[in-house]
Amino acid sequence: MIFKNNESNERMELGMSNIVRISVKAEEGKPKKRNVYVQSASDVKRLLNNTINELRNGEIDSKSANSIGYLANILLKVFETEEVIQKVKELEEKFTLITDHSRP
């Protein structure tokens, strides 16, 4: 799944492995930003910490920081949903084993 904002050239890709890539077009005289790979809640925390510091240091504007925060919140919900789905699958497997063993 690819989301693209043509105005700012920001792109987010969400694949089966939950890798998210956010890249920003380099401005004149500035090096291109590196891609950010977010695969867990810890990665989201690290991204938000970096974003806060970049905002405070004037390296990014508040609109970009707000967008990153919004996308990070979506990612956290995706990770939580995946965790719930995995737990449900595990419970279904256990339930199947229990019901199979209890049948004569």
Mean pLDDT of 64-87: 97
Residue 98: pLDDT over 90: no
Domain count, the chain: 1
Q: Which of 101, 29, 52, 17 is nearest to 1 (CA)?
A: 17
Cα of 29 vs its chain's centroid, Å: 29
The predicted structure's pLDDT at residue 3: 41
6-59 per-position pLDDT tens digit: 444 444 444 445 555 555 555 666 666 778 899 999 999 999 999 999 999 999
The predicted structure's pLDDT at residue 22: 55
The whole domain housing 62 covers 2-102
The predicted structure's pLDDT at residue 29: 67
Q: What is the CA radius of gyration of the chain?
A: 19
